[in-house]
Amino acid sequence: MQRRSEILIEALTWVASFIPAILAGAMISFLLFNGASAVSWKFITGFPEKGGLEGGILPAIIGSIYISALCMLMAAPIGIGAGTYLAEYAPENLFTKVVRFFVELLAGIPSIVIGLFGYVFLVHGLGLGFSILSGAIALAFMILPWTVRVSEEAIRAVPRDYRYASLALGASKWKTIRTVVYVAARPAIITGLMLGLGKAIGETAVVMMTAGMGITGYIPVSPLDSARTLPVHLYLIAGEIANTSESLKMAYGTALVLLALFLMVSIPSLMLRNYFTRRLYGDAG
Amino acid sequence: MQVKKTLLRRALEYKPILKSEKLNVWYGRVHALKDVDMIIPSKRITAIMGPSGCGKSTLLKAFNRLLEAEGARVEGKVYFHDVDIYSDSVDPYVVRRKIGMVFQKPIPLPMSIYDNVAYGLRIGGVKDRRVLDKIVRENLEKVGLWDEVKDRLRDSAFNLSGGQQQRLCIARALAVEPEVLLLDEPTSSLDPASTKRIEELLKRLSRDYTIVVVTHNVHQAMRLAEHVIFIFEGRVVEQGEAERIFKNPKSILTRAYIKGDFS
């Protein structure tokens, strides 16, 4: 009896593990099947025509890269800084508890609410307008809880012994954090930042309410320019404009490019993570 | 003649390099060390022995102020030469460079073999490549690791065996030129062959350094130590010359511990 239930559990977990794999595979093949014909050199390097029903998506590609890069430029250092404080310095007192609570809270706020906040305080309050800067700041709000938490956990996971070994050699606390703790935590921090970046690249609601929809015939240059990102473009041509087979095909193509952009970011970061892991542990790890 | 000279030299050098007075340590509410008065003679091997949880590792960490990093509260005095290392004017970072430490488990830092040995020097501001190369080599030779690793100094230190890692840690501690080397059960995670190598190494090093070894292994203390401190439940029960203590312990507790009645 014991054995039979063991086998059943194993089979069920096997099935459960298969479902996400099948879903991902099906979605990607569906997109490839329907969208591949839309993707061409002209599609990637051209400007949208007829509201996106024809032409390319270059401004949205640039917009996506611009906004998420600027967002990471803010979210990464703040996240690592806060994670360092919480893991290394924070005493277990009320202040720390309050900070942790708010970080958790921020993680739970729906993105559309963050979008509203960005619209009120960044676009209008600070007068940044519908702009790449507004969008990047609002996106940073959205992913900050993740970068903070991931950094904190990565830093906490570094064995205490490393710190003592470094201190015992006369290193100061900050020197120890910089030269030993960060080095050991680097692979995990990179993974975490990459997940945050993935969320930022794919986010629609926040960007629409803060960066606007952009002028399609124009490549954004200044951070104060309005910009359209790939998800926003996708939403507009698939949902807002006539729901024809033509517009859907363009939407599939856009989705493919969005996916490719995400892979282009995540594959190098995975390689970087593996490189650092190897450097850490050599063949032993 | 040579032997006599060495004995004379050592007799003259039998002076304390470390000394504690009324040392008390608390971890939260736990009173880990109680009124500890002890001396560590210079350029000898001192063994701090006692059953697990008796406070011997705590005492060791009191000598390089690592206790503070663990959040313990320390009262009383610890003199290094004639300076109280817990006085306000003393920088713990300087203390730790003069009094090195090796831990129970080998702790290679997450970097290459070379960078591990160079770590303390770089913290001290040494940047010159030739100086670093020279000191790294000298110290790896001192611990008998040079021939084993000279062709793979850039490899991760994690690729070494446990015994090699522990010798690397000793080399790393020696590279900053400490006067005292503290070792917290340095062989407890190692196999007998590696243990023997480390013990021989410590004997060799005791010519130039003051060595303090924490051990719960009476036989290791007998093999290594010239001076012994026996701790039980946070108090020093007995201390003195190893030969005297092992042959003729004053306290029944010490006698029972040496006999192996408890550990």
**pLDDT tens-digit map of A40-54:** 899 999 888 877 777
Q: Residue A244: which pLDDT band, with cuts at 50, 70 and 90?
A: confident
Bridge partners, B27 (sequence order): B30
Q: Residue A285: which pLDDT band, with cuts at 50, 70 and 90?
A: very low
Residue A55 carries which DSSP code? E
- Residue in chain A closest to B183 (alpha carbons) equals A168
Judged against a pLDDT cut of 50, whether residue A125 lies above it is answered with yes
- On chain B, the residues whose CB falls within 8 A of the CB of A279 are 156
Q: Is the ipTM of this complex over 0.90?
A: no
Domain definitions of chain A by residue range: 1-35, 40-284
Round to whole Å and give the CA distance between A227 and A213. Answer: 6
**Residue A200 vs residues A65, A196, B66: alpha-carbon distances, Å:** 10, 6, 43
A223 SS3 class: coil
| Chain-chain contact of A282 with B173 (C-beta, under 8 angstroms) | no
**Residue A89 vs residues A171, A177, A182: alpha-carbon distances, Å:** 16, 11, 14
pTM of the shown model: 0.84
**pLDDT tens-digit map of B192-212:** 999 999 999 999 999 999 999
CA A186 to chain centre: 17
Judged against a pLDDT cut of 60, whether residue A24 lies above it is answered with yes
- On chain B, the residues whose CB falls within 8 A of the CB of A161 are 103, 105, 107
Domains and CATH numbers, chain B: 12-259 (3.40.50.300)
| Chain-chain contact of B169 with A164 (C-beta, under 8 angstroms) | no
Least CB–CB distance from B109: residue in A172, A180, A282: A180
Q: What is the CATH number of domain A40-284?
A: 1.10.3720.10
φ, ψ (nearest 5 deg) of residue B21 = -130, 120
φ, ψ (nearest 5 deg) of residue B54 = -85, -10
Round to whole Å and give the CA distance between A173 and B23. Answer: 25
Q: What is the pLDDT of residue B186?
A: 93
